[in-house]
Structures are given as C-alpha cells and as structure tokens.
Amino acid sequence: MLNTLTLSRIQFALNISFHILFPAITIALAWLLFYFKLRYQLSGHPVWMRIYRFWVKLFALTFALGVVTGITMSFQFGTNWPGFMETVGNIAGPLLGYEVLTAFFLEATFLGIMLFGIHRVPTWLHTLATLLVAVGTSLSAFWIIALNSWMQTPAGYAMEQGVAVPLDWWEIIFNPSMPYRLTHVLLASGLTACFFVAGVSAYRLRHGDVKQAPRKALRVALVAAALLAPLQMFVGDLHGLNTLAHQPQKIAAMEGIWHTEKGAPLLLFAWPDEATQTNHLSLGVPKLASLILTHNPNGELKGLSSFSERPPVKPVFFGFRIMVAVGVLMLLVAWAGVWFGRGARTLPGWLTGSLVAMTFSGWVATLAGWYVTEIGRQPWLVSGVLKTADAVTTIAPANVSLSLSVYGLVYAGLLVAYVHTVFYMARKAVAVEEYETDDTATPVQITRAEGVSA
C-alpha cells in the first residue's frame, strides 16, 4: 500500500484538479455575461438577452459546483496537511480570509440579483450586479493566486521559532511571480470560457438550431479567443523568464536539461530518463531553448544536475508540452473560426465539429499548466520554507485511502452529471421557439412566454 504522504498528495491533486475546472470557466464567463448584458442594454436587441439568459443558467450550474468543491479544499489543510497551517498559517490564513471577506461576499451578495432579480430590479441595477459578480470572480482569483505565488516565491516574511511571520503584506501579496502568474491564469480562464461557449454554441448549430443567439455567441467567443490566444503566449513567455530567474530547477525540468549547457535545444519530444539523466528519442530545434529563455542562441541554461533538490522530471516535462500543444491548437482553431466566419458566413462542418470536440479543451491546458507549476515546486510545499513531507498528517494510510476513494467516486459522478447537463440544456435550447428580429432600434421586452426565462 502507498504511504500516507503519497496518498495525501494524490488526494490533494484530485481535489484541486476537480475544483479548478469550474472557476476556470466562471471567472471569464462572468465577464462574457456582462458583455452580453451590456450589448442588450445599449442596443435593445433581444438576441443579446436570449444569449444572456441561456448562458447565465450554465454559469449558475458551474458556479455552484465551484463553490461546493472549493469547500473540500479547505478541509484538506486540516485533515491531511496540518504542518502547512502550523508553519505558514500566519500568511496563508489571512490571504484565504481576504478572499472570503471580499470576493466571496461580493459574489454571494450580487449573484442573487443576477440570477433572480431580472424582473424585480431596474435594468441598470441588474447589469451592475452582473458586473460586480464578474469583479468578484476575478478578485477571488487574485487572492488565491497571491497565496499560491507566495508558496512559489515567498517574500515579506521572517521565520521565528519555525513559524513564518509576516513583515510586509505588500511584498507578500505582490511577490516576484504573482503578477505573471495571475495574468497567465486569467487569460487561461478567458480561453477556457471562450471555447466552452464556442463548443456549446457549435453543438446547438449542428443540432439544427437556426436562431441568431448561438451564431452570435459563437462569433463573440471565437473573436475573443483569437485575441486572447496570442496574448497568452506572450504572457507565458514572460512567466517563463520569471520562473527562470526564481525557480531555475523548474525550467530545467520543463526543458529536459540534465546538465548545464550553452545553446540548449528546444525539445519537441523526448523520453526523460531520471536514472541515467539522459533523454531518449529526443527531437529538438537546436539553440532555440537558449534563445527563448536568454534571448541569446548560445546562452547558458543550468541543468538539473546543478541542483541538490529537484522536481520529478517526467510530469513537468510532458505537462508543459501538453499545455503548449493545446494552446497552439486553440490559437489555430480560433483563427480559423474567425476567418471562415467573416462576413457572417456559415462555418464549415469540420470546424463546428472541431469546436464541439474542444468544448473543454481549456480544462486540459489548465490542468497541464497547473501540474507543471505545482509538481515543479517539489520537494517544497513552500519554496525554501517548508517541505511537502514535513507538512503531511500522521494518520494511517488506510484512512487516507478511504477518503480518497470516496472523493474519486463522488467527483466522477459529478463530472458526468455536469457534462450531461450542459449538453442537455443545449439540446433543450434548440427546441425553444423564439421570436426573431433584426430590428436593433426598438427594445423588445423578453417574457417568460417566449421560453427564455431562467
């Protein structure tokens, strides 16, 4: 049987992997909802309200699962990782508390108006509530990423009797990797939400939905994704340079560099062998890794053998390539969608089919990138402060195995139910008869009789 440390790590990975799926959608979907609502308010065209009313239901479903699965995350600190709070609780506790006091309270307060107040409050107030929910989701990401970044690049603290004590909250929150990581995560959420909207909209079109709403939603999602994808690559490069400066061993694992070398190649594929510290079946572009990371084709990159402590190489190496490959695919598909859909043209069948297949492609890229970040920090839980092995609980492996099994079963059931519900709602929307108009000058009141109420 696996030991308590390994089982606890698997359990935490399972919990955070399942939880992160839902905020990855809702953070950016909330901003898309605000855009849809604003377009309706400015133009008065009912199609924008129909888009809003359909997507706000999926937002509510996704948001609810994100909240529920987030609660179990906090349990983990007490049940499996008591050493974490004992050592860095003076910093982690307030940051998590700020997230609840600011972001969660803001979301909880205005989410009710957003979901149930459309016929009960003035339009401007409902639009404002939608905006504040979007602000709240981003604010939540801000605090969580502040804590995670501090665990990667801790700053503004002192150790007193083995406990981290805050000295400068500005330095703690805006630690060296925080701005890059936050921007990278928010853009990742943008791409995840755009492909979610594009995939479900394409699904409706392929099932015979001839209304304007799915076509307009698809176009908005593709244009946004086409803009966000290259921006994400630029920010990802900056994030990589920041990681090279503060966590060079993580970069060495990502690039599969075993020994310090000048003019290091960019490996497109390889099979890292930790026993012999070599790569098998390697296929790379000469000098490109040095050029990207040092802006010099003959620049020197430190190898893994230079570090006394280093992360597991295979998951970091392959996770990075999966993230990049999915990101490039998203860029190509988004640009193809904008090109083939220009001038309100109908997208070819192969492209709508690709979009349906990529409905949850953002999840793949997000999880792969998250694993690179978290596994690349090992063996530290908080870099240079607390090792993962020193924070784990002492309870028996059998107890962790039991809770891990229960989590796995529950999450598998929830994931199947969630995906099924998303496409069920899409098929149901296809059958709804709606009043269509191209008149953008006259505001039209949407009523429940038109079958578009939440």
Residue 217: the pLDDT is: 95
Q: Which has the closest alpha carbon to 26: 97, 119, 107?
A: 107
Residue 450: the pLDDT is: 38
Residues of the chain above pLDDT 70, percent: 95
Helices (H), 153-287: 169-173, 178-206, 212-246, 248-255
pLDDT over 70 at 449, yes or no: no
Residues pairing with 231 in the sheet: none
Q: Band of the pLDDT at 77, cuts 50, 70, 90?
A: confident
Q: Band of the pLDDT at 453, cuts 50, 70, 90?
A: very low
Residue 18 identity: F
Residue 54: the pLDDT is: 94
Residue 210: the pLDDT is: 83
pLDDT over 70 at 435, yes or no: no
Cis peptide leading into 248, omega within 30 of 0?
A: no
Q: Which has the closest alpha carbon to 109: 119, 101, 97, 118?
A: 101
Residue 295: the pLDDT is: 87
CA distances from residue 412 to 26, 76, 333, 398, 402 in whole angstroms, order as listed: 20, 19, 29, 21, 16
Residues 6+ away with beta carbon under 8 Å from 432: 451, 452
Residue 69: the pLDDT is: 86
List, for residues 290-337, the tens digit of each pLDDT value.
Answer: 999 988 999 999 999 999 889 999 999 999 999 999 999 999 999 999
The distance in angstroms from the start CA to the end CA of the chain is: 49
Helices (H), 388-438: 388-391, 397-431
Instruction: Report the mean per-residue pLDDT for the chain.
Output: 90
pLDDT over 70 at 41, yes or no: yes
Q: Tokens representing 390?
A: 């020193």
pLDDT over 70 at 355, yes or no: yes
List, for residues 161-203, the tens digit of each pLDDT value.
Answer: 999 999 999 999 999 999 999 999 999 999 999 999 999 999 9
Query: Can you tell me the distance from the alpha carbon of 394 to that of 438, in angstroms, rounded to the nearest whole number?
Result: 66
pLDDT over 70 at 6, yes or no: yes
Overall average pLDDT of the 374-390 stretch: 93
pLDDT over 50 at 10, yes or no: yes
Query: Can you tell me the distance from the alpha carbon of 76 to that of 306, in angstroms, rounded to the nearest whole number?
Result: 34
Residues 6+ away with beta carbon under 8 Å from 106: 132, 133, 135, 136, 139
Whether residue 199 contacts residue 423, with contact meaning beta carbons closer than 8 Å, is answered with no
pLDDT over 60 at 42, yes or no: yes
Residue 340: the pLDDT is: 92
Residue 434: the pLDDT is: 62
Residue 2: the pLDDT is: 83
List, for residues 215-249, the tens digit of each pLDDT value.
Answer: 999 999 999 999 999 999 999 999 999 999 999 99
Convert 256-312 into a string of H (helix), E (strand) and C (coil).
CCCCCEECCCEEEEEEEECCCCEEEEEEEECCHHHHHHHCCCCCEECCHHHCCCCCC
